[in-house]
């Protein structure tokens, strides 16, 4: 049985499902989900992410977190990474901060990961790097300590619902199945759970899980202290319409074709994320572009050191960095937002 067949049966029996339900099932179905079954990252996989492109990304984020920890007064803290993929970002964070006095002794590492395959990869990547590493499936049981959070390409994987103001009022875009068993989108009368401007025929996306997680992180930072940095591709307010996309083998794929075999993601609305954070009485800065953020943190100087230490790697160091920084590749599309307590000084890079 495939996931397509299962979804067909379910929709035939119970009716159309929301785009969020569709995403959630396609990505994390316990048996056939995309992330449940495979490691999607890298050249052999379907897509590649910043930490997999260049170690500089994780190193600078590591130093940024250690600096926030210093400003917080060097408390015993938890480092939390949701959606850690292969564990590369955390391995780079740990390596880059090994000489920050007291840091490694003060922290424990907490991964939030839904995929058993990727958990295994993360275990391998972190082996011997740090004595205290734990895995969670969600944010519910994090220890009540200051939170240092790094998230890269996690929020784009969270399910969104889609709404549209059509001629006869608000509708939700849902996934239905036709007589031949083919999945397709339909509009169903439904009032959105948040206020969207009633602009005809524009799709608005609402990510309930993303909003909930932003609130959880923010409340934790307000209550116990901490600092979070969130990197993802996305936009700063307004609507981008339908941003649901499927990627397979580094190419775009039909979003409804063969669910569970392609990555599904959406652009992150950073303005909404910022408002959700601020509503919890924390300070949120950004979004700034990934290019501006990494430049401000000294990406070029770091690259120069890497090239000096390993001249044979110069070409790949330079091309990796270029890919992270250039407006034509990831430099502009990817954005960075940070969340800190109200009285915390504005962090570097924002
Ligand atoms: N941060 C990594 C991987 C990005 S891929 C990198 O930059 O390379 C998205 C990651 O989020 C994967 O690890 C995936 O398994 C995880 N993930 C997606 N949805 C999730 C959810 N709802 N709960 C927990 N983890 C999730």
Q: What is the pLDDT of residue 201?
A: 87
Asked if residues 154 and 232 have their Cβ atoms less than 8 Å apart, the reply is yes
Residue identifier of the C-alpha nearest atom 14 of ligand 1: 83
CATH class of this structure's domain 29-154+212-250+257-340:
alpha beta
Alpha helices in the chain (DSSP H): 3-14, 19-28, 34-37, 50-53, 55-71, 88-96, 103-106, 116-126, 208-224, 270-278, 290-296, 299-309, 314-325
Kindly list the domain boundaries of the chain, sorted by start residue.
29-154+212-250+257-340
Asked if residues 187 and 170 have their Cβ atoms less than 8 Å apart, the reply is no
pLDDT tens per residue, range 317-331:
999 999 999 999 999
Pocket around ligand 1: residues whose beta carbon is below 6 Å from it?
27-28, 35, 41, 49, 51-52, 82-85, 89, 112-115, 118, 152-154, 157-158
Phi then psi dihedrals of residue 251, to 5 deg: -130, 155
CA–centroid distance, residue 201 to ligand 1 (Å): 31
CA–centroid distance, residue 198 to ligand 1 (Å): 33
The whole-model pTM stands at: 0.97
Asked if residues 262 and 34 have their Cβ atoms less than 8 Å apart, the reply is yes
Q: What is the pLDDT of residue 43?
A: 80
The two structure tokens encoding residue 15: 């009716």
CA–centroid distance, residue 169 to ligand 1 (Å): 35
Q: What is the pLDDT of residue 320?
A: 97
- Single out the residue of 35, 224, 233 nearest to residue 151, CA to CA: 233
Q: Which of 157, 260, 262 to mutate to test the pocket of ligand 1 (most atoms within 8 A of CB)?
A: 157
Q: What is the pLDDT of residue 170?
A: 96
CA–centroid distance, residue 112 to ligand 1 (Å): 8
pLDDT at 251 over 90: yes
Looking at residues 86-113, what average pLDDT do you find? 98
pLDDT at 214 over 80: yes
């Amino acid at each position: 049985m495939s996931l397509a067949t299962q979804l067909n049966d379910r929709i035939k029996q119970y009716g159309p499902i929301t785009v969020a339900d569709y995403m959630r099932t396609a990505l994390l179905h316990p048996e056939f989900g995309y992330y449940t079954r495979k490691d999607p990252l890298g050249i052999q996989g379907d897509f590649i992410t910043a930490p997999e492109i260049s170690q500089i990304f994780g190193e600078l984020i590591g130093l940024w977190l250690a600096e926030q920890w210093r400003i917080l007064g060097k408390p015993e803290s938890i480092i939390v990474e949701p959606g850690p993929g292969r564990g590369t970002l955390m391995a780079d964070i740990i390596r880059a901060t090994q000489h920050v006095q007291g840091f490694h002794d003060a922290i424990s590492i907490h991964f939030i990961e839904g995929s058993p395959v990727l958990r295994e990869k993360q275990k391998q990547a972190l082996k011997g790097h740090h004595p205290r590493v734990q895995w969670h499936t969600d944010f519910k049981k994090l220890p009540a300590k200051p939170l240092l959070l790094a998230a890269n390409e996690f929020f784009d994987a969270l399910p969104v619902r889609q709404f549209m103001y059509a001629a006869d009022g608000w509708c939700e875009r849902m996934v239905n199945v036709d007589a031949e068993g083919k999945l397709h989108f339909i509009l169903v009368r439904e009032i959105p759970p948040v206020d969207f401007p009633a602009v005809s025929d524009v799709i608005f996306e609402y990510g309930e899980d993303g909003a909930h997680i932003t609130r959880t992180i923010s409340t934790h930072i307000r209550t116990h202290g901490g600092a979070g940095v969130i990197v993802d591709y996305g936009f700063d307010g307004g609507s981008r319409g339908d941003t649901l996309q499927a990627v397979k083998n580094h190419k775009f794929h039909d979003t409804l074709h063969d669910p569970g075999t392609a990555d599904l993601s959406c652009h992150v609305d950073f303005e909404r994320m910022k408002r959700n954070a601020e509503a919890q009485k924390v300070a949120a800065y950004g979004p700034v572009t990934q290019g501006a953020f990494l430049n401000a943190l000294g990406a070029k100087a770091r690259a120069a050191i890497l090239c000096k230490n390993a001249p044979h790697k110069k070409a790949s160091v330079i091309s990796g960095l270029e890919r992270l920084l250039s407006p034509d590749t990831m430099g502009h599309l990817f954005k960075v937002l940070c969340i800190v307590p109200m009285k915390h000084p504005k962090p570097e890079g924002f």
